[in-house]
Chain A
Amino acid sequence: MILVAYGRQVDCAYVFGEDVGFGGVFRCTTGLSDRFGKQRVFNTPLCEQGIVGFAIGLAAMGNRAIAEIQFADYIFPAFDQIVNEAAKFRYRSGNQFNCGGLTIRAPYGAVGHGGHYHSQSPEAFFCHVPGIKVVIPRSPQQAKGLLLSSIRDPNPVVFFEPKWLYRLAVEEVPENDYMLPLSEAEVIREGSDITLVGWGAQLSVMEQACVEAEKDGISCELIDLKTLIPWDKEKIESSVNKTGRLLVSHEAPITGGFGAEISASITERCFLRLEAPVARVCGLDTPFPLVFEPFYLPTKNKILDAIKSTVNYYSSYDKSSPVHQHTLLEKNHLWIYAFNALDRRVA
């Protein structure tokens, strides 16, 4: 649908990948080959490094190369092409060459029974690579606008699609051509007690937690980051300056996940404003497990617990504990808290 909208207008767009000619394993490219011809929409050999290398060449010649990697779990053979080639194409040539027309689409994330190799969320690896953008939509409508922007963006983009939503998400998608800005986060639910930041499929889990928290009188602000690199730090910062608390959630393992980057940056910018440590509710530091998937995932209740403990951080502080007394004295934490509280009242 999205690709149809794009293909209709541009004759230099090419869509290819494993089984893409038949419509792709998730049916994303169904009918495209009949509509735009086999020269524009085609199957590739099972060779991810080849797919991305080919796409870079095509893009470097001024085309829009839309390459599909069948599962994000299988993007790693293409890592060299993405990291050492696509990401540095412009920089290494002093902008004589670029492969900005490149968009790599790949389904990511849990699906209920995917085990190690059909469930991973590898976005953090790509966020560590200057020169590419990383975009993750949360819904079909978002997917269309963000994908069109990614395709037209003059930089290579890695576009991860939440495969959980391929079958579940139903949403009215406008027929017309529209673009949603990259690097612009969106507040999808306003609130005053805590800011929640996420992307992709995780947002619907976070939203459920926000609804539950509201029943307990906690007002949550939920933000869809949409573009992970370069990300909209300002929007998160201003939200945290309002709420004084931050929670980040993603399916990828917590250690070295993109939540760590957000946490560090916001701590730098809002240190005096924060009323509790930044909370991260993420996947665990194990390979994505099959039987244990329900245990591994950052579920609604894990998020809800973290919302509550973050909001109640000071009231749950056990002042009689010698360790905590020590901490309070050492860091003068109480004073900071007092100032923050005062600050909020004044504001």
Chain B
Amino acid sequence: MAIWLSRSRKIAHFLNPKIAYFLQPEDFSYKIHVNYVNSSSFRTLSGENFRSPHAFLDNSATVSALQRRCRRPESTRAGEQVETRYSDDDYEDENQAMDFPGGRVSFTHEMKFISEAADKRIPCYRVLSDDGYLIAGSRFEQVDKETAVKMYKSMVTLQIMDNIFYEAQRQGRISFYLTSTGEEAINIAAAAALTSDDVILPQYREPGILLWRGFTLQEFANQCFGNNADYGKGKQMPIHYGSNKHNFFTISSPIATQLPQAAGVAYSLKMDKKEACVVAFTGDGGTKQFRSDGVVVKGQAYGIRSIRVDGNDALAVYSTIRAAREMVIHEQKPVLVEALSYRVGHHSTSDDSTKYRPVDEIEHWKTARSPLARFRKWVHKNGWWTDDEESELRGSIRKQLLNAIQVAEKTEKPQLAEMFSDVYDNLPSNLHEQEKSLRETIKRHRQDYPTDVPL
């Protein structure tokens, strides 16, 4: 059924200006559908709704249709006629709903555009108040003392690691760094809620998952220094961690490229009947590019179950990921979790974020909304953690990190041959030739090449 509108300005005005784009009569091909609507519909449409009885007739050459895009105005007689015509029992059902591929769609006589924004934003699930108290009535997964303390210690470790590596970059000892500050709860609580069989496809702000799984501070330092103990063999920039033994895919700088890959990983786990899931992470760069209420609302659009959770509430993140993992594995369906948080650090050591966001906003999230402080209050209230333990932990982690940096710095760079390895499984002849030629060049011009790379 075709709905006809003219290019009259009044019509454009009648409809929301934002959709005026759709009303431009570019497509005249629908004109041939005129015989589907009897002439009375013209009179009625124009007469009752648009107060311009001759709009269509006067300007018939510009008539255009918005078939499929617009619903009929509420009180058109044409609509009534159509309804009358199909009032027959045989047609009644057909008239209220139609079987459309993907499910039954009911009809409405209201021409109602779905708003670009819901009246209320999707609420955010949380368990702990800012003061670290359990919010009355919250449903959450219990965390025992051992797990809770390990979670807290890991969050502290991650924070100190970020501070020290960031400083190391500032001192010119490593070429680049990028912190996870502000996102410690997402990192650690998500890791704690998963098992080590679950496969991680990270963005680049989730080193806490590796930390939780036992990647050592020395291993982190080795990657940042690109030495010969780095699993990536010095090929990538700092923070591009990856660890096969920890089921953690190696980080790639481009944004969100890992999301479709995760679906492939998931399919493999499913076909192999593994009791494991895949978790792909992405941040604002991959999600918050449009004016929707975050990414959580896109769950429904894609037919994926979704939830919004307070990313600075470790207990809420933990409970959410535990529940999501259950659904994913046992119902074999994907789940989208949007954890609201705030990147307290700059994007990276190449960025000064105060150029595009207020300093007091950063400060607020750094202090008042700190995920560490909140979780610590809860652990402390449970009597599981003391101030003495805190200062001892911080001192010890600091010492371990400084040591790891020293060791990493002293460790040799990877052998020159590593430059050519891993392009393919085996070295093809062109690379053989290029390696040979490079070695001859180096012999002639040793002064051109760094001395810390063993030949």
Contact = CB atoms under 8 A, between A and B. Distances in A.
A115 B237 contact: yes
B316 to A, nearest CB: 27
A25 B352 CA distance: 10
A305 interface: yes
Interface stretch (A58-66, A235-243, A266-274, A282-290): A282-290
Interface residues of B, number: 38
Interface string B219-255: 0000000100000001111001000000000001111
Interface string A111-124: 00111111000000
A115 B286 CA distance: 22
Nearest to B435: A284
Contacts of B453: 291-292, 295
Contacts of B237: 113-118, 290
A289 B450 CA distance: 14
Given A116-B235, A116-B236, A291-B235, A285 B423 contact: yes
B143 interface: no
A299 interface: yes
Contacts of B419: 284, 286, 289, 292, 295-296
Given A290-B234, A290-B237, A25 B416 contact: no
A115 B441 contact: no
A47 interface: yes
Interface in B430-447: 430-431, 434, 438, 441-442, 444-445
B448 A299 contact: yes
Contacts of A6: none
B449 interface: yes
Interface string B348-367: 00100001100000000000
B290 interface: yes
A139 B414 CA distance: 35
Given A285-B431, A290-B236, A296-B419, A305 B441 contact: yes
B285 interface: yes
Contacts of A113: 175-176, 237
Contacts of B252: 117
B420 interface: yes
Nearest to A74: B254
A46 B289 contact: yes
A331 B434 CA distance: 27
B35 to A, nearest CB: 31
A117 B254 contact: yes
Contacts of B286: 46
Nearest to B228: A291
A324 interface: no
Given A113-B175, A113-B237, A305 B444 contact: yes
Given A113-B237, A115-B237, A284-B438, A291 B255 contact: no
Contacts of A294: 448-450
B374 interface: no
Contact of A295 (B350, B423, B444, B449): B449
Contacts of A77: 254
A45 B430 contact: no
A79 interface: no
Given A46-B285, A284-B434, A301-B441, A289 B356 contact: no
B356 to A, nearest CB: 6
Contacts of A289: 234-235, 419
B376 interface: no
B226 A295 contact: no
Given A286-B419, A286-B431, A115 B236 contact: yes
Nearest to B174: A113
B240 A295 contact: no
Contact of B441 (A74, A286, A302): A302
Interface in A68-104: 73-74, 77
Contact of A291 (B226, B289, B355, B448): B226
Contacts of B205: none
Contacts of B308: none
A78 B251 CA distance: 21
Contacts of B356: 19, 22
Contacts of A299: 445, 448
Contacts of A255: 430
Identify which of B237, B430, B442, B450 gathers the most chain A CB atoms within 10 Å of its CB.
B237
Given A25-B350, A301-B444, A287 B235 contact: yes
Contacts of B240: 115
Nearest to B445: A301
B72 interface: no
A40 to B, nearest CB: 19
B325 interface: no
A27 to B, nearest CB: 11
A118 B252 CA distance: 12
Contacts of A305: 441, 444
Nearest to B256: A46
B238 to A, nearest CB: 9
Identify which of A255, A292, A294, A300 gathers the most chain B CB atoms within 10 Å of its CB.
A292
Interface string A294-326: 111001111001000000000000000000000
Interface string A238-267: 000000000000000011000000000000
Contacts of B420: 284, 286
Nearest to A297: B448
Contacts of A116: 235-237, 253
A113 B413 CA distance: 15
A302 to B, nearest CB: 6
A295 B235 contact: no
Contacts of A114: 237
Contacts of A25: 350
A22 B441 contact: no
Interface of B: 175-176, 226, 234-237, 240, 252-255, 285-286, 289-290, 350, 355-356, 413-414, 416, 418-420, 423, 430-431, 434, 438, 441-442, 444-445, 448-450, 453
Closest 7 CB pairs of A and B: A45-B289, A291-B234, A117-B253, A115-B237, A113-B175, A292-B419, A301-B445
Given A22-B356, A116-B235, A284-B434, 14 more contacts: A46-B255, A77-B254, A115-B236, A116-B236, A117-B253, A284-B431, A286-B420, A286-B423, A286-B431, A289-B235, A292-B235, A292-B418, A295-B442, A301-B445
28 contacts: A45-B289, A46-B289, A73-B253, A77-B254, A115-B236, A115-B253, A116-B235, A117-B237, A117-B252, A118-B253, A284-B431, A285-B423, A285-B430, A286-B420, A287-B423, A289-B234, A290-B234, A290-B235, A290-B236, A291-B235, A291-B413, A291-B414, A291-B453, A292-B416, A292-B419, A295-B449, A301-B448, A305-B444
